Amino acid sequence: MIKALRGMKDLSFEDSSRFTYIIDIATDIAKKYGYSYIETPILEETKLFKRSVGESSDIVGKEMYQFIDKGGNDVCMRPEGTAGVVRAFIQDKLDRRQNEKFKFYYYGAMFRYERPQKGRLREFHQFGCESFGEDLVYEDFTIIQMVGDIFKSLGIDYRLEINSLGCSRCMPPYRENLINFLNGCRDELCQDCNRRIETNPIRVLDCKNEKCKSLLRESPKLIDNLCSSCSSDFNRLKELLDIANIEYSVNSNLVRGLDYYNKTAFEFVSSSIGSQSAIAGGGRYDKLVEFVSGKSTPAVGFALGVERIMELVKMPNRERDGYYMGVMNSSDIDKLFPLAHRKRKSSSVTIEYRAKKLKAHLKGADRINARYCVVIGEDEAKNGTVWVKDLEKSEESILKIDEF
């Protein structure tokens, strides 16, 4: 038997309806916040991700689905959505239109070559939004509110964590500061952290190792060393969230795994889905457009992990819907096609082509969860009528075939 590749899953029945339910709700809300759909390719030049996601990230370092195509190009299946959207934004020269705002939502498959586990697959799906051209912190707030709206609408409980990663003015001095601190306790930090001091010292803050964690309690906090602009934006953000009654906690160790974030970083977390607890994450990335050779453009965005949310979403009860049609004698089957075609203008219709006993038809209608079971038997064929049973109310009637 040929099976799907490791870390790749088919979605059908219950799963696919959960999937589309989430996308539909997220799409609906994103549109209400003024976002329009953007579709970008799954395959991009590897360079794009190296430059945007960052060489120091694990995503680029070891998790890319990267290969040389038949034309000799170094290409990569996208590991996340933002890079492609930013590339499209620049390619369309939208970065030149400096006074305009552009808001895009997207969803689709992302690929990371890693060991699959609960809530983490090699092919997974994200829904995300990117807002370009707005540097005011109100947009950060609005995006967080939008994600909150989506989860609320899906009936999902979450915890919101926020942090500020500073900007090009306050981050570099802090970084030096932190490196000094880390070098001071180098011998006591774990191996990974020692490596991170060179590659990406900020990520040490995120270490799960208990020993590292306790050492880091004494570390300098970026939150106490923000420049005046970052500091006042962060305070403003907290005020806005308070006023909107959105609960949050400040997590000064929250650093996003991708290099391009600055200022606001946030993560929506759920405690009920195993160890992969982040269900959405995002923040501001004012420098990214420049990194990818565009004209400097402030931007904020987020992405949510569809598969992780599928485990949490409470689906509305599925109600009986549509028609099941069948005949008891095979010679009457032709009568059903025009009937079905007419009904399909407004309802879903399933025809059973094989002649069956009434009981079998009723069971068949039940199985597909149809609201109405429509059958032409001997009497109906003779009289030009159809027998219709409402399976919910358990009421039946006989109608002229033209009037049905």
Place of tokens 């990371």: 112
Bridge partner list, 265: 163, 283
For residue 366, the minimal CB distance to RNA (Å) is 4
Interatomic CA distance for residues 8 and 4, integer angstroms: 6
Pair type for strands 102-111 and 123-132: antiparallel
Binding mask 57-76 for RNA (x = CB under 7 A): xxx---x-------------
Tell me: does residue 15 bind RNA (CB under 7 A): no
| Contacts of residue 377, Cβ cutoff 8 Å, sequence gap at least 6 | 327, 328, 329, 358, 387
Closest to 293 in 3D by CA, of 78, 58, 45:
45
Closer Cβ to RNA, 94 or 212, answer by number: 212
- Residue 339 as a binder of RNA (CB under 7 A): the answer is no
Distance (Å, rounded) from C-alpha 332 to C-alpha 46?
A: 60
The 127-166 contact track toward RNA, x by CB under 7 A, reads ----------------------------------------
DSSP per-residue codes, 195-238: HHHHH-GGGGGG---HHHHHHHTTS--GGGS--HHHHHHHHHHH
Q: Is 112 in the site for RNA (CB under 7 A)?
A: yes
Residue 335 is a binding residue for RNA (CB under 7 A) = no
> 102 has which bridge partners?
132
- Least separation in angstroms between residue 21's CB and RNA is 17
201 binds RNA (CB under 7 A): no
For the segment 74-103, give every residue that binds RNA (CB under 7 A).
Answer: 80
Residues 222-281 that bind RNA (CB under 7 A): 256-258, 267, 274-281
**Residues that bind RNA in the complex, under the rule CB under 7 A:** 3, 5-7, 9, 57-59, 63, 80, 112, 114-121, 124, 126, 192, 196, 203, 206-209, 256-258, 267, 274-281, 303-305, 307-308, 320, 328, 357-360, 362-363, 365-367, 375, 377-380, 387, 389, 391-392, 394, 396
